Every structure is written in C-alpha cells, then in structure tokens.
C-alpha cells in the first residue's frame, strides 16, 4: 500500500503551511495587537472583544453567502485554480495591509478583507483534495496538511516574535516590528503556495453550458436538492455546523478571552505557539489511526474532547491553566478539522467537489459566524467572556448528538447496499 506522498500531494499540503501562518496570527498576535490598539483608543476590554467577534462574524458571513455560488462556478473546467488564486492573493495582500492602520476601526476593516480572502481560498483548496489524491489516502493526506500547517506556521511566527520581543535590541519601535511581522507572514503565505499554483490540474469537473449565471444557479439549486435527499450528507453538515462552531470560535477567540481573564500577552503567545507544536504530531497520529479505527468514531472522540475544553475554560484564571488548555486543544485541533474535511470529501460526488465544499463552507463559516456573534452578544450582555463559553459548550453537545444520528443513517445505507457505501469502506 502506498505510504509516501506524491509531489502534488506535497504541494497541496504546502498551502496549509502557508495559510496556517495567517491562522496563527488570527489566534495570537492580531487579537493582542488589536486589543492594545483599542484600549489606547478608550474601548473597554469587553467591548473590544465583542467588536472583534463582530468583525470575524461579518467576514465569515460574506464567505458563507458567496461560497456556494463560487463553488458552482469553480466546478467548471479549469475554473478552480483562478478562483483559488484570486482569494489567496486577497488574503495575502490583506495580511500585509494590516501593517498600515493606526486606528482600531480601520484595522478591523482590513482584517475583514484579509479574512474573506483566506476563508474564500479554502473553499477551492479543500475541493482540490479530490484532484490530488485518492479516497483511500484522503484521511492521511488531509491530516498531513493540518499537521505540517501547524508546524510550518511556527517558522514565520517565531521570526515575528523575535522582532516583537527584540524590538528594543534591534533598535526599532514596537510599531515597526509589528509591520514587519505582518509583511513576513504575508510573504511566507505567498511563496509556499507557488508550487501548488504551478502544478495543480483540475481532474474532476462538469461541462459548462451556455446559459451562464442561469445555469450556475440552476446547478446550485440541484446540489441543494441532492443534499436534502441525501440524509447521510445532510446530517453530517448539520452536525458539522454545531461542533465546528465551537472549534472555530475557540481558535479565533482564545487569545482575546485569555486577556479578559488576566493572562499576560507573553503567556498567551507562547502557550498558543506550543499548541502548534503539539498539534503537529497529533494530527499525523490521527491520520494514521484511521487505518485501524473508523474516522467517524475518531471525530466523535474529538467532539467530546472539545466539550471538555469549553467546560474547563469556565475556570480559567491563571497562566498555567491556559497552558494546560492550549496543550489539550493541540491534541485534537488538527484532527477534528482534517478528518471532517476528508470524511466529507469521500461522501460527495467528485465532479461537484467545489459546489459541495461551497455548501460545506456555509455550514462551517456559518457556524463560526453564529459562534463568534453569540459570544460577542453574550459577553456584552453579561459583561464577561465566560457567558459566551457556555454557549460554545452547548454547541459541542448538539454536534455530538447530530453526528451520532449521521452514523446511524450511514450504517443503514451501508447495510442496504450490502456492506459498502462507496466511500473508502467506512465502518460504523
């Protein structure tokens, strides 16, 4: 059985290495930099957390609206790469542009642009998975992407930390060090993406008709109708909506929440860097475990673990507790995202991968929109970030229940079809 990755699989994995640099910024440096900027502008801690939540919500809502339409267009012959390139460059330029503003409001506006580019590129990137590997290797390749993304993103991040903490030694201001950090991460993102841009070829596609936008919306409506009838896919998307809500919200709001409960900037940055290091081997491990255990059961384990993280966060009041939480998150963070991506890729039609991943993005980014929005609202209503954490914990419970239902539906289909559902012999 093939164990080594092909060149195109490696190039695909490299994009995770590139975009994960921005993901790490979003969960570490950006919230700290923004909250310090907002504080100097007279904005309270709870309000600045809420405004950041709203900015993230706006960006995810925009992508959720555009995703299915663009995904349908991308499934036409040779359309996936140009759309991927456009959104990737929007993210890269937006990341670099974060170095410009000196007001917290303008910073959030540019942040929304960068986030839309980043999230939009992932629709097409995730859909590329069906073109670069086989069903049998999807779990492992997807896990490798997240794993190397976590460890690879540490390279520009460590350089950025060196600039920020060593600004006085280097004879530069804190502002200049932050500007350089944003430029370095943007450059890293762009450069490591080049091999994929050069070598990727779209294998699965649908032939475009002559009716343009009318055909596009017609195909989108047809896919939505297919999903409505395909209970296996529908229940997965509902479950994904709930549990990935908590995952994304924890990733994007952990630093802001940590500051609100009194954790120092240094501890926040170093603990979240440690999360990346822990996530690297654990994501690979979970990819290997799919050869012995059903990926559905591994996903359920991850959902349960994240529920415990959310409950634990309610008692977070010291740096060592944040470090412990960061370690625990690192074990399951890459696994739940990688296995969800590959699981979905195996149960959808390959020639419609972008269309389906556009819908996948609605449920993922829509969940993130709801999670961050609810966290912002509850934080302002109750004057504490802990209120938002309770809502996130409830999402994991709902996700776990819905995924169990999905497993039951898939098991019935497998039994009805004589033991195989058509996606890598999943066992439930």
For 98-154, how does the pLDDT look when each residue is reduced to its tens digit (9 = 90+)? 999 889 999 999 999 999 999 889 888 988 888 898 888 888 888 898 889 888 888
CATH number, domain 7-199+218-416 = 1.20.1250.20
The pTM of the full predicted model, rounded to 2 decimals, is 0.73
Mean pLDDT of 366-390: 71
Given a contact cutoff of 8 angstroms between Cβ atoms, the answer to whether 27 and 254 are in contact is yes
Q: Tell which residue, 250, 387, 385, has the closest CA to residue 305.
A: 250
Q: Is 76 in a helix, a strand, or coil?
A: strand
For 406-428, how does the pLDDT look when each residue is reduced to its tens digit (9 = 90+)? 888 877 877 766 544 444 333 32
Hey, which residues does 206 pair with through a beta bridge?
A: 76
Which pLDDT value is given to residue 25?
87
Which pLDDT value is given to residue 19?
92
Q: Cα 414 vs. chain centroid, distance in angstroms?
A: 30
Which pLDDT value is given to residue 88?
96
Lowest mean pLDDT among 189-198, 290-299, 369-378: 369-378
C-alpha–C-alpha distance, residues 280 and 148, integer Å: 6
Which pLDDT value is given to residue 198?
93
Phi, psi dihedrals of residue 8, rounded to the nearest 5° = -70, -30
C-alpha–C-alpha distance, residues 53 and 46, integer Å: 11
Bigger pLDDT: 42 or 372? 42
Which pLDDT value is given to residue 45?
77
Mean pLDDT of 173-201: 93
C-alpha–C-alpha distance, residues 25 and 74, integer Å: 28
What is the pLDDT of the chain when averaged over all its residues? 82
C-alpha–C-alpha distance, residues 16 and 308, integer Å: 27
Mean pLDDT of 313-319: 76
Is the alpha carbon torsion for 378, 380, 384, 389 positive or negative? positive
Mean pLDDT of 80-103: 93
Which pLDDT value is given to residue 216?
54
DSSP 176-190: HHHHHHHHHHHHHHH
Which pLDDT value is given to residue 217?
60
Which pLDDT value is given to residue 205?
74
From start to end of 10-108, where are the E strands? Answer: none
């Amino acid at each position: 059985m093939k164990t080594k990755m092909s060149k195109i699989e490696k190039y695909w994995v490299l994009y995770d290495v590139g975009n994960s640099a921005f993901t790490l910024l979003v969960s570490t440096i950006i919230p700290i930099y923004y909250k310090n900027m907002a504080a100097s502008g007279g904005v309270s801690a709870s309000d600045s957390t809420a405004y950041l939540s709203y900015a993230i919500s706006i960006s995810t809502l925009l992508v959720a609206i555009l995703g299915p339409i663009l995904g349908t267009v991308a499934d036409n012959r040779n359309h996936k790469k140009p759309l991927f390139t456009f959104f990737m460059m929007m993210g890269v330029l937006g990341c670099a542009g974060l170095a410009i503003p000196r007001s917290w409001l303008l910073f959030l506006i540019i942040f929304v642009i960068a986030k839309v580019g980043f999230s939009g590129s992932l629709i097409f990137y995730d859909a590329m998975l069906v073109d670069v590997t086989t069903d049998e290797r999807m779990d492992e390749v997807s896990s490798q992407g997240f794993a190397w993304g976590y460890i690879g993103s540490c390279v520009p991040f460590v350089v950025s930390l060196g600039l920020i903490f060593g600004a006085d030694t280097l004879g530069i201001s804190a502002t200049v060090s932050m500007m350089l950090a944003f430029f370095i991460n943007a450059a890293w993102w762009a450069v490591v993406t080049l091999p994929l841009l050069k070598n990727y070829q779209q294998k699965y596609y649908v032939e475009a008709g002559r009716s343009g936008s009318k055909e596009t919306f017609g195909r989108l409506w047809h896919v939505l109708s297919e999903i409505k009838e395909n209970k296996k896919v529908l229940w997965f998307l509902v479950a994904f909506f709930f549990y990935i809500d908590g995952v994304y919200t924890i990733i994007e709001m952990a630093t802001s929440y940590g500051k609100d409960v009194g954790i120092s900037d240094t501890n926040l940055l170093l603990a979240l860097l440690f999360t990346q290091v822990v996530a690297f081997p654990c994501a690979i491990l979970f990819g290997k475990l799919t050869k012995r255990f059903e990926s559905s059961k591994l996903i359920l384990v991850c959902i349960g673990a994240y529920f415990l993280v959310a409950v634990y966060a309610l008692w977070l009041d010291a740096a060592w507790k944040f470090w412990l939480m960061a370690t625990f998150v690192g074990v399951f963070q890459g696994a739940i995202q990688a296995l969800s991506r590959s699981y979905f890729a195996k149960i959808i039609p390959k020639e419609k991968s972008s269309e389906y991943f556009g819908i996948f993005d609605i449920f993922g980014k829509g969940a993130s929109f709801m999670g961050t929005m609810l966290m912002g609202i509850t934080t302002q209503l109750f004057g504490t970030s802990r209120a938002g954490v309770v809502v996130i914990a409830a999402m994991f419970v709902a996700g776990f229940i819905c995924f169990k239902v999905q497993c039951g539906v898939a098991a019935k289909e497998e039994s009805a079809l004589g033991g195989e559902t058509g996606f890598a012999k999943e066992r439930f």
